[in-house]
A and B are shown apart, each in its own frame.
Chain A
Amino acid sequence: MSVRVEADIAYLAGECRVEDAEPLLGFLQSGSSRVVDLTQATHLHTAVLQLLLAFRPHVVGPASDTFVQRWLIPQMTDT
Chain B
Amino acid sequence: MDELLEQFLIEGRELTEQANDDLLALERDPTSSSNIDSAFRAVHTLKGSTALFDFAPMTEALHAAEDLLGSLRAKQLLADRTIVSVLLECIAASERWIDCIERTERLPVGAAAQASALRQALLAPLKREDQQTSTPPPDLEWLAPLLAREGQSMAAARGAGRTITALRYVPNSDCFFRGDDPVALVRSVPELLAFRVTPREPWMKEGYDPFACNVVIEALSAASPDDLRRIFRLVPDQVVVIEVGNRIGQFAPNGDVSLMDKSLESGLRTLRVEASRIDTLVDVAGELIVAQNTLAHLAAKARQSDPALAHAMAANHADFERLVANMRSAVMRLRTVPLSTTFRRFPRLVREIADKLGKDVEFVVSGQDVEADKSIVDGLFEPLLHVVRNALDHGIESSAARRSAGKPTTGKVMLQASREAEQIVVTVTDDGAGIDLSAIRKAAEARGLMPEPVLNALQDSAATDLIFAPGISTATQVTDISGRGVGMDAVRTAVELLGGRVDIVSGIGSGTTIRMTLPQTVFVTAVMTVRVGQELYGVPLDVVAETARIPIDRINAIRSGEAFVLRDRTIPLVRLSSILDISTPERSGADVKVLVVSYGNQRVALEVDAFVDRAEVLMRPMAGLLSGMPGVLGTALLGDGRVLIILDVSELIG
Residues of A within 8 A of B (CB): 18, 21-22, 24-25, 29, 43-47, 49-51, 53-55, 67, 71-72, 75
Contact = CB atoms under 8 A, between A and B. Distances in A.
Interface in B220-254: none
B208 A46 contact: no
B205 A71 contact: no
B187 A25 contact: no
Contact of A53 (B181, B195, B203): B203
A51 B208 CA distance: 9
Contacts of B208: 25, 29, 51, 54
Interface string B532-569: 00000000000000000000000000000000000000
Contacts of B205: 29, 54-55
A21 B213 CA distance: 12
B211 interface: yes
B176 A46 contact: yes
Nearest to A65: B187
B210 A49 contact: no
B621 interface: no
A46 B171 contact: yes
A21 B176 CA distance: 11
Nearest to B192: A71
Residue with the greatest number of chain A CB neighbours at <10 A, chosen from B181, B195, B203: B181
A45 B197 contact: no
B199 interface: yes
B196 A50 contact: no
Nearest to A67: B187
B176 A49 contact: no
24 contacts: A18-B181, A21-B210, A21-B211, A24-B210, A25-B210, A29-B205, A29-B208, A43-B184, A45-B183, A45-B184, A46-B181, A49-B183, A50-B199, A50-B213, A50-B214, A53-B199, A53-B203, A54-B199, A54-B203, A54-B204, A54-B205, A55-B205, A71-B195, A75-B196
B177 to A, nearest CB: 9
A51 B215 CA distance: 10
B434 interface: no
A52 to B, nearest CB: 10
Contact of A47 (B192, B195, B213): B213
B182 interface: yes
B187 A75 contact: no
A30 B176 CA distance: 24
- Binding site of A, secondary structure by majority: helix, strand, loop or mixed? helix
A37 to B, nearest CB: 19
Given A24-B210, A50-B199, A72-B183, 11 more contacts: A29-B205, A45-B181, A46-B183, A46-B184, A46-B213, A46-B215, A47-B176, A50-B197, A54-B205, A71-B192, A75-B195
Nearest to A51: B210
Contacts of A53: 197, 199, 203, 215
A61 to B, nearest CB: 17
A75 B197 contact: yes
Nearest to B214: A50
Given A46-B171, A71-B192, A18 B211 contact: yes
A45 B506 CA distance: 78
Contacts of B196: 75
Contacts of B204: 54
Interface in B350-403: none
A29 B180 CA distance: 25
Contacts of A43: 183-184, 187
Given A44-B183, A45-B184, A55-B205, A22 B195 contact: no
A75 B182 CA distance: 15
A71 to B, nearest CB: 5
A74 B186 CA distance: 15
List the 3 shortest-distance A-B pairs measured between CB atoms, nearest first. A54-B203, A21-B210, A46-B183
Given A53-B199, A67-B187, A71-B192, A22 B182 contact: no
Which of B180, B183, B195 lies at the interface centre, i.e. has the most chain A CB atoms within 10 A of its CB?
B183
Contacts of B213: 46-47, 50
A62 B204 CA distance: 28
Contacts of B211: 18, 21-22, 47
B210 A47 contact: yes
Contacts of A45: 181, 183-184
Contacts of B176: 18, 46-47
Contacts of A47: 176, 181, 210-211, 213
Contact of A46 (B182, B192, B195): B182
A67 B214 CA distance: 21
Interface in B184-204: 184, 186-187, 192, 195-197, 199, 203-204
A43 B187 CA distance: 9
B257 to A, nearest CB: 21
Interface in B131-185: 171, 176, 180-184
**Residue in B192, B210, B213, B215 with the greatest tally of chain A CB atoms within 10 Å:** B210
